[in-house]
Structure 1
């Protein structure tokens, strides 16, 4: 039971980190496209 509770908490943390990372990546792409930087424009 204890291991199950720990696994649930870790999976929630992982999902949160994935969401934050994905949202951060989207914001960076949006900012890069808005600025028109040649580096981000090439990879976007």
Structure 2
């Protein structure tokens, strides 16, 4: 096996996946909060 060198691996795909995950979680939280606020206003 070859020598391991820290930082040699191409991680562009992993970075795109992680960025997409963070973006999905962010917008999901915004949507959930909006729905909860809407429910609170309607049931006021």
TM superposition score category, shorter chain reference: 0.7 to 0.9
Instruction: Name whichever structure is richer in helix by fraction.
Output: 1
Q: Which runs of 5+ in 2 are unaligned?
A: 1-10
- Equivalenced residue count is 34
2:28 pairs with 1:29: no
Larger relative contact order (CA 8 Å, sep ≥ 6): 1
Shift of 1:21: 0.4
Superposition CA RMSD, Å: 0.4
TM superposition score normalised by structure 1: 0.75
Q: Which runs of 5+ in 1 are unaligned?
A: 35-44
TM superposition score normalised by structure 2: 0.75
